[in-house]
Amino acid sequence: MEKFYVKKVLNNNVLIAASNDETEVVLIGRGIGFGHQQGDSIVRSSVEKLFVLTDRSEQEQYKKLLPHLDDETLKVIIAAVELIRERVGETLNEHIHVGLTDHLLFAVNRMMRGMGIRNPFLLETKALYPFEYEVAADVTKLINSKLTISLPEGETGFIALHIHSAIANKDVRDLSRHSELIATLIGMIETQLDVELDKESIDYMRLVRHIRYTIERVVRGEKVDEPEKIANLLKTEYPVCYNLSWKLIKVMQQTLRNPVYDAEAVYLTMHLQRVQTKMK
């Protein structure tokens, strides 16, 4: 049976403990620090909603955030992570405690000062991560119902990125950069094809997801085979879309600092052609 031994109570919701093998951990849970003293033992199974921070650098970062948080705000953020874990139903990367706490502390403080923050790639995030966005919307509702602020929809997009980061073990900064790149590419497509894409349509979602998978392949250096006959056909039949796909690829190359294989232009042209046909 896994037990922890209390070393220091940081506040009502966080304490430092040692595990059976003497490894120092940070235990996070609503009310977990209340009534506990140094040397007390805590049985893991007796605490239903317990989070254990084991990574040393994560622990240090988390401890640095604590003095800036009042008990009520921290309790709500812990409840938000509990909600995410319940909805996701799988192990989350423990960085979510530092990443989401840091982000929400910043967001709540800004809102209290009446300073909203705009999310320039909200629609792209919504299209890329629909499940995470849905969970993030519930997190936003929870926070708004418990604290005296009202986080705007843009915040739901940022929270969705943190949720996806914790599920997929990806860096939030990379996800943000990729969402920003996708927003830039979508803007170029609308300008060059002189269209306004319906951001709620299935075609828009398909296009955004295709661009996302292209970016992921480029980052991994993964090659896709080029269907040569189709490439020649597309060049001849759809020169506008084919040329635009190469412009988009050049922007990807510059932003990601990785080469993009020629075959990507073929698949991108097909998606652009579908969009252009639908908009006519």
Distance CA 19, CA 3 (A): 6
Mapping DSSP to helix (H, G, I), strand (E, B) and coil, where does residue 7 land?
strand
Q: Do 93 and 133 sit in the same domain of this protein?
A: yes
Q: What is the CATH number of the domain that holds 21?
A: 2.30.24.10
- 227: pLDDT strictly greater than 80: no
Q: Do 59 and 165 sit in the same domain of this protein?
A: yes
Q: Do 82 and 133 sit in the same domain of this protein?
A: yes
Of 277, 266, 271, 135, nearest in space to 204 by CA: 271
Predicted TM-score (pTM) of this structure: 0.85
Q: Do 60 and 165 sit in the same domain of this protein?
A: yes
Confidence at residue 30, expressed as pLDDT on a 0 to 100 scale: 87
Of 102, 153, 150, 158, nearest in space to 129 by CA: 158
pLDDT digits (tens, 9 = 90+) for 106-138: 998 888 888 877 888 899 999 999 999 999 999
Confidence at residue 21, expressed as pLDDT on a 0 to 100 scale: 81
pLDDT digits (tens, 9 = 90+) for 70-100: 999 999 999 999 999 999 987 789 999 999 9
Q: What is the CATH number of the domain that holds 147?
A: 1.10.1790.10
Mean per-residue pLDDT over the chain, rounded:
90
51 phi, psi to nearest 5 deg? -110, 135
Given 144, 170, 196, which residue is the final one in a domain?
Answer: 170
Q: Do 179 and 275 sit in the same domain of this protein?
A: yes
Q: Do 183 and 265 sit in the same domain of this protein?
A: yes
Task: Determine which of 22-26, 45-49, 150-154 has the lowest per-residue pLDDT on average.
Answer: 45-49
Confidence at residue 180, expressed as pLDDT on a 0 to 100 scale: 93
Exposure string for 254-266, b = 16+ CB within 10 A, e = fewer: ebbeeebbebbbb
User: Domain span at residue 216?
Assistant: 173-279
pLDDT digits (tens, 9 = 90+) for 153-200: 999 999 999 999 999 999 999 999 999 999 999 999 999 999 999 988
Q: Do 271 and 253 sit in the same domain of this protein?
A: yes
What domain count does the chain have? 3
Distance CA 134, CA 14 (A): 28
